[in-house]
Amino acid sequence: MNNEPIQNFSNLLENHKDFDIKIKVGTFSNDNEVSLLDIFIAADEIGLVEISQQVEKCLLENVSAWKVPKDFNTICKYDMFTNLHETALNFKRNEALGYLKQGKFFKALEIYEEILKNCPHNAENQERASKWDLSHYSFGSNEISELSK
């Protein structure tokens, strides 16, 4: 068996020969290069079920496990990962709601624009982005002046 690193995984599972998969666990040279979502997608693509399940669980439970906005943009390209897609959408919606509650309307609008750009055909997103019920919140002069800019 050749111990050389495999550069292209696309034909790996089609080959009927025995093969070894070695995963080096450690730190990455640049935190911006690889995210848990990237690891999940790679593990799913090459059939590493246990790894993909563990990483998916972490992503579903922890907003801090996501590299935003990169991971949000990435997950929106994959229709087959429904749970992660919905979780990412909920994280972004909650982020927008947080800005609305603070009276940071333009920041909330930016978040909804990002959601709509990545998921333009989602009716729920369209409705949430176009109808903001702010009647339950009271805003001071700072928040109101942001709207009048």
pLDDT tens digits along 104-144: 888 988 998 888 888 766 777 677 666 666 666 666 666 55
Residue 35 lies in a domain: yes
* Residue 130: count of CB within 10 angstroms of its CB: 9
Residue 7 lies in a domain: no
- Tens digits of residue pLDDT in 48-98: 899 999 999 999 998 889 988 889 889 988 878 989 988 988 898 889 889
The confidence score (pLDDT) of residue 59 equals 93
Residue 5 lies in a domain: no
CB 12 within 8 A of CB 19: yes
Residue 3 lies in a domain: no
Residue 21 lies in a domain: yes
The confidence score (pLDDT) of residue 16 equals 44
> Which is nearest to 56 in space by CA: 80, 32, 24?
80
Residue 121 lies in a domain: yes
Tell me the whole-structure pTM to 2 decimals. Answer: 0.64
- Structural domain including 95 reads 12-148
In single-letter form, the type of residue at position 42 comes to A
Please tell me the total count of domains within the chain. Answer: 1
CB 92 within 8 A of CB 117: no
Hey, what are 21's tokens? Answer: 């998969």
Residue 42 lies in a domain: yes
The confidence score (pLDDT) of residue 1 equals 44
- Tens digits of residue pLDDT in 11-44: 545 554 444 555 555 454 455 578 889 989 989 9
Residue 107 lies in a domain: yes
String of DSSP letters for 24-88: --S--S-TTT--HHHHHHHHHHTT-HHHHHHHHHHHHH-GGGS-TTHHHHHHTT-SS-HHHHHHH
Length of the chain: 149
Q: Report cis status (omega within 30 of 0) of the bond before 69.
A: yes
The confidence score (pLDDT) of residue 141 equals 62
